[in-house]
Every structure is written in structure tokens, then in C-alpha cells.
Amino acid sequence: MARLVCGIDVGTGSLRAAVLRVGLRSYESVALVETPLRVPDDGGPAEPAAVAEALAELAAKLPRGIETRAAALSGSDATIRILGFPRAALRQAEAVVRIELEGQLPFEPSEAVVDQMLLSQPGADPASLLVAVARTETVRTLVASLAAHGLDPGSLAVGALPLLHLLPRGHAALAEDGVSILDLGRLETDLLVLRGGRPAFLRSFRVGAEDVTRAIAKAFRVPRGEAEAVKVTRLSLAEEPAALADPAMRALVEAAQGGLAALLGPLRRTVVELRARGSDAIQPARVLLTGGGSRIPGLAPFLAQRLGVPVENLADGVPPPPQAPPDALPAFGRAIGIALSGVAPRSRRLDLRQGEVRYRGDAAATRASLRNVAIAAVIALLCWIFHAWSQHRALDREAAQQKTALERATLEVMGKKYADFAVVRSLVSKASPRIEGPVPRADALDILAQLARTMPSEIRNNITLLDIEPGKLAINGMTRNAEEAARIPKVLEQYEECVRDVGTLSGSGSEGNYTYQIEATTVCP
């Protein structure tokens, strides 16, 4: 049965929610909702009051009947590690991971929420685990802010990992090594590198499209809002600044490229780091660009030139969900990925709602479950009613057939139609209070026994056929001569209780081998 799933993307420029109807093997879009945040004039993070206001507005726009909600923690608020362990140690994976993380975190592991995801193929030893760690207080704050507006998430993903679920089953990128998804947000950028459809590397950078806006505002000395509008409507990074004849356009492109330098630096270092890990390390081979910042015109070819890696927009190779607008990606890509992550198999996702902040359910989910139970009960009741009605109809038809047969039988036997079994039973019992079937007083064995008792000892008689029917008896036999055969009818006449009118003896043969036939009338029932 399909269910409504909501993925909530708490961004730094706006809040987005994707409501999907997810079935066993397919899903479709029900609603894509966006609420902008009130951003400070300096372009920094929104105030908590502005986030709360936007969350209330977002919750009011969501459709009813949502059964599962999911959210994600920012990648910069979590620590991501890939750790190797002997496969035998996976039975105590959580304890082993916490021991391994001691000394690597700026806080005590007891103050953290930890979750892990197995990356290795079955049977591989040692096994690789993708581990996500976040402060318990950070997770509790995010969950509390969502729950205050009726948006308590059942699961909490982390970083760029939900973007993996944007790639549908059978997509070519899932079979490649080194395919990378780069999610460019307003203040943060998340990178996910895949190996054969499984996460191989995750990293978050505290830079984003806002750095381009700030660079434009500084170069042209305009307010942030006007610089944002210029970035979206007039900027094009497809050409080099030196090739532009318009001084204003050349200055705009130079300012934008200067703002992107803050992102290019850590991206280049990451690519170099991955390439330096050796032949076994995964290296970015192709980058799929998504996120609100990816809508900057010419950004994909610009990054491809600077990084030395092919870069293309994710929306060009991945269709939006059915029933969603054609331009749903890249703005709602993260929200859609979070929604799909919430219902993905546990082995293919990370969930930071663990320990003290684990999900305990809410009234909305309980009501949805009760509604499903009630629907199932009503369907079962309707099926039972239909079955009982069908059985009743079948019994009615059978009773009608028996009534017709009774009328026909009583008309033939009694000369009058009767349709009531009780009346017929009463009439029959009055006419013959005790009716018993005929019981024969003699059979073929009795006749043989009588012949054996009354047959003279000097007669050698061998009976080859004894046929007894109502009113008729036939005996075929063999004696030594005709004289012995002639004495047999007299023996039969002595059985007066059943045998009458013994017929003429007929026979043939020679001395020592004489056959005969005798017929008689029987009167015993």
C-alpha cells in the first residue's frame, strides 16, 4: 500500500519539503513546498526566529495524511569517517566504533550520536563502515525546532548522503566508479563520491553561492538583494572575462569567479587528496551538479575547466519524480532525496535519531497507523459479509432444488404435491410406522450347505455353477454317471423351504465324467 512520505530540507536560504507517494517499487510527487527565509543584510545565517517563522509557514502548506517524515543534519554539523574493521568485530559495531573514535573528536563520544553503514560487499574482510557522528545537543536542537511545528522527523539523514537516492534504479551512474554529486547551497556545499553506487567519500564545505553574491555586491557596491538578482539574471560564467567586450559584464564575471575561488580551493584540495591515496582510492571521474547554487549560468563548464573533471547538471541526466514540475530539480533535489532516504532500507542510509534522541512516534503517525488498521478492518468485514451472503444464496438455491425434487417425488408416489419435508415425513410414518427392507432367508451358501447335508455319501457330486436369482435356481455339476445325476433332483426336493418345481434333469457324458444341468423355482425371498 502506498504511503505519503515527506522530506524536509532545512536550508540556509529557504525551507523546502517534498511530499511523495511511495509504493513498493515506484513513487510520485504529491506536493513540493518552499518557504523562503528572512536572510540578514550581510547574507549570514538566518536568525532562529526567522527559521521558526518559516517552519510554521511550511507546516501550514503541507497536505494532510503524511505518514512518514524525514529530515537531514547539515554535513558541517557532523563528522564523517570511513573506518575498517575485521568482519568478526561487526557484531559489536557500535562499541567498536566509539572506541575507534576516541581521540579523533573534539568532544566525548558519550556526548555524541553515532550511526554506521556497511560499505563492503558481503564476505569482504576487513569490512568498511561509513560512520556519522554529531553532538547529541545539535541533533536535539534540530529535532525540537521541527517537532515544535508538528514536523518531528522519524529519521535524520546527514550531509550529502540523501542525494544518492535521487539516482533511480538502473541509472548508469550507479554502475560507475568515481561519480560525484556536488550539492551547492547558499552557505554550504556537500560532496558525495560513489563507487559502484555505494558511498565512498563525503565532505562538506562552509562555502556556497552566497560567496558569489557577496563578491558581486562588493565589486559593484550594491545591496545584497540587488547583487543576488544580478547573479541569477545577468551573470554567465561560460566565457573568459578577457574575451568579453562589455566592461561591466567583464567586471561581473571577474567578481563571480573571485567569489567562487572560496569553493574552488577546498574542491581542488579534495581532488588532489583523493588522487594521492593510491590505486585503491576512489577518484572523482564525473561530477553531477545540483542544489540552488547550481542554477548560476555557466557554472558547470566553469568548474569542469578549473577542476579538470567533467561536470554536468544532475537535472540533465536524472528526471524529476512523476507528477513533479519539469524544473523540480535542482531546487528540490535534496528534499526529494531526504524523503526517499526516510523509506530506504536500513542498510542504505544513515539515521542520527539514535540513543537519547531516537524517534518515539507522534500523534500524526499514530493516527495514520490507526487509519490504516481501520481501513483493513473494514475491508475484512466487507469480505466476510460478501462471503456470508454468497453462502446464503447458495443454500437458498439448494433448498429450492430440493423442494422441487420433493414436489416431483410426492406427486409420483402420493398423487399430490407436497413441499414441506415435515408434512411428508408425518404422512409416511402414519402409512407405514415400521418399514424395513427385505432380508433374504436363504442364499447360494445355504443351498450348497443343504446339498452337502442331504447328498448321499456314495454320490460323487462336483458343482461347477450355482446361480440363484429371485424365483430361479440353476445348478451345473459333474458326477461319475447318469444314475448318480438322476438322484440329485430328489435331493433338491427335500429343501422344501425354498426350492419348488425341480425341473427335468439334462446331461451328457460317459462313464466317469458325466455333466448335468438342473433348474428349479425358488420361493424364499
pLDDT(7) > 60: yes
**pLDDT category of residue 510 using cuts at 50, 70 and 90:** confident
pLDDT(384) > 50: yes
- The C-alpha atoms of residue 4 and residue 217 are separated, in whole angstroms, by 42
For the chain, percent of residues with pLDDT exceeding 90: 50
Q: What is the pLDDT at residue 391?
A: 87
C-alpha dist (Å) from residue 320 to 17, 159, 199, 220, 324: 15, 21, 22, 37, 6
Domain ranges for the chain? 1-167+324-361, 169-318, 374-431, 444-522
**pLDDT category of residue 362 using cuts at 50, 70 and 90:** low
Q: Closest Cα partner for 209 from 230, 229, 228? A: 228
H/E stretch holding 68: strand 68-73
The CATH number of 1-167+324-361 is: 3.30.420.380
Of the listed ranges 251-265, 357-371, 402-416, 468-482, the one predicted with least confidence: 357-371
- Main-chain phi, psi angles of 330, to 5 degrees: -95, -10
The DSSP output letter for 204 is: E
CA 453 from centroid of its chain's CA atoms: 85
Q: What is the pLDDT at residue 280?
A: 63
- The C-alpha atoms of residue 326 and residue 12 are separated, in whole angstroms, by 24
Of the listed ranges 60-74, 159-173, 366-380, the one predicted with least confidence: 366-380
Cell of 448: 450348497
8 Å CB contact between 476 and 463: yes
Q: What is the pLDDT at residue 29?
A: 96
Q: Closest Cα partner for 138 from 94, 69, 78, 79? A: 78
**pLDDT category of residue 448 using cuts at 50, 70 and 90:** confident
Instruction: Report helix, strand or coil for 25.
Output: coil
pLDDT(492) > 90: no
H/E stretch holding 317: helix 314-317
- The C-alpha atoms of residue 100 and residue 129 are separated, in whole angstroms, by 12
In 3-state terms the chain splits into helix, strand, coil percentages (rounded to 5) of 45, 25, 35
Q: How many residues does the chain have?
A: 525
Check if 169-318 and 444-522 are the same fold.
no
- The C-alpha atoms of residue 441 and residue 265 are separated, in whole angstroms, by 118
Of 130-139, 274-283, 388-397, highest mean pLDDT? 130-139
8 Å CB contact between 83 and 325: no
- The C-alpha atoms of residue 236 and residue 230 are separated, in whole angstroms, by 10
Q: What angle do CA 44, 264, 8 make, to 5 degrees?
A: 50
The DSSP output letter for 319 is: P
Which residue spans within 160-252 are E strands per DSSP? 177-184, 189-195, 198-205
Q: What angle do CA 506, 507, 508 make, to 5 degrees?
A: 150
**pLDDT category of residue 435 using cuts at 50, 70 and 90:** very low
Please state whether beta strands 177-184 and 286-290 pair in parallel, antiparallel, or not at all (unpaired). parallel
- The C-alpha atoms of residue 375 and residue 381 are separated, in whole angstroms, by 10
Q: What is the pLDDT at residue 394?
A: 87
Q: How do residues 51-66 score in pLDDT, each as one tens digit?
A: 999 999 999 999 999 9
pLDDT(150) > 70: yes
8 Å CB contact between 186 and 208: yes
Q: What is the mean pLDDT of residues 392-409?
A: 86
Beta bridge partners of 6: 19, 69
- The C-alpha atoms of residue 207 and residue 157 are separated, in whole angstroms, by 21
Which residue spans within 89-176 are E strands per DSSP? 112-118, 127-135, 155-158
Find all residues with CB under 8 Å of 250, minimum gap 6, and list them.
Answer: 241, 242, 244
Cell of 5: 512520505
C-alpha dist (Å) from residue 263 to 224, 328, 501: 19, 25, 129
- The C-alpha atoms of residue 21 and residue 319 are separated, in whole angstroms, by 17
**pLDDT category of residue 369 using cuts at 50, 70 and 90:** low
Instruction: Report helix, strand or coil for 331.
Output: coil
8 Å CB contact between 97 and 80: no
Q: What is the pLDDT at residue 437?
A: 46
Of the listed ranges 128-132, 138-142, 170-174, 358-362, the one predicted with least confidence: 358-362
**pLDDT category of residue 132 using cuts at 50, 70 and 90:** very high
- The C-alpha atoms of residue 316 and residue 330 are separated, in whole angstroms, by 10
CA 163 from centroid of its chain's CA atoms: 22
Q: How do residues 203-221 score in pLDDT, each as one tens digit?
A: 999 999 999 999 999 999 9
**pLDDT category of residue 485 using cuts at 50, 70 and 90:** confident
pLDDT(259) > 90: yes
Please state whether beta strands 3-10 and 14-22 pair in parallel, antiparallel, or not at all (unpaired). antiparallel
Q: What is the pTM of this model?
A: 0.69
8 Å CB contact between 386 and 197: no
**CATH class of domain segment(s) 444-522:** alpha beta
The CATH number of 169-318 is: 3.30.420.40
Beta bridge partners of 305: none
Q: How do residues 311-343 score in pLDDT, each as one tens digit?
A: 999 999 999 999 999 999 999 999 999 999 999
